[in-house]
Amino acid sequence: MNLTRLEHHQHPRPPHQELRQKTVFDSGVRSIGQVANLYVDEDMELRFLDVCTSGFLGFGTKHRLVPVEAIEEESPGAVTLKVDQQAVDGAPTLSNPHVGPDEELQRAAREHYGQGAVL
């Protein structure tokens, strides 16, 4: 599926809120990163989040692709996932978070999180 990165003035289709810059918590309610980008399909349906994680003192920043199905809850200022930090740490990374992920990366991310193909 062809996905596009939302520009900062664009917003995903409801029921999703503006999620960029929100803190991301894992299923154990540990802070694991921040939402950096949103990727939508041609109907502006949110499909993936770019969760930016960093290592010690901010070094080793990585952009992890997380399917929208992994979101447990959206609240003001935070996104809680259904998965733990290890699942996110093992997720496929985006080499260029400024463009939408290709189909191979989308498939790898869905398989990593135990999601089937989306038509």
Nearby residues of 47 by Cβ (< 8 Å), 6 or more positions away: 1, 3, 39, 40, 41, 67, 68, 106, 118
DSSP state of 29: -
Q: How far apart are CA 79 and CA 25, in angstroms?
A: 6
Q: Is 66 helix (H, G, I), strand (E, B) or coil?
A: strand
| Extended strands (E) in 2-43 | 4-5, 23-25, 31-40
Q: How far apart are CA 59 and CA 28, in angstroms?
A: 24
| Confidence at residue 58, expressed as pLDDT on a 0 to 100 scale | 61
| Confidence at residue 115, expressed as pLDDT on a 0 to 100 scale | 74
In Å, how far from its chain's centre is CA 33?
10
Rg (Cα) of the chain, in Å, rounded? 13
In Å, how far from its chain's centre is CA 76?
17
User: In CATH, what is the architecture of 4-112?
Assistant: Alpha-Beta Complex (3.90)
Q: How far apart are CA 30 and CA 26, in angstroms?
A: 5
| Confidence at residue 11, expressed as pLDDT on a 0 to 100 scale | 86
| Confidence at residue 47, expressed as pLDDT on a 0 to 100 scale | 95
- Digitized pLDDT (tens) for each residue of the chain, 119 residues in all: 899 999 988 888 888 888 999 999 999 999 999 999 999 999 999 999 999 998 666 677 899 999 999 999 999 899 999 999 999 999 999 999 999 999 999 999 999 998 765 54
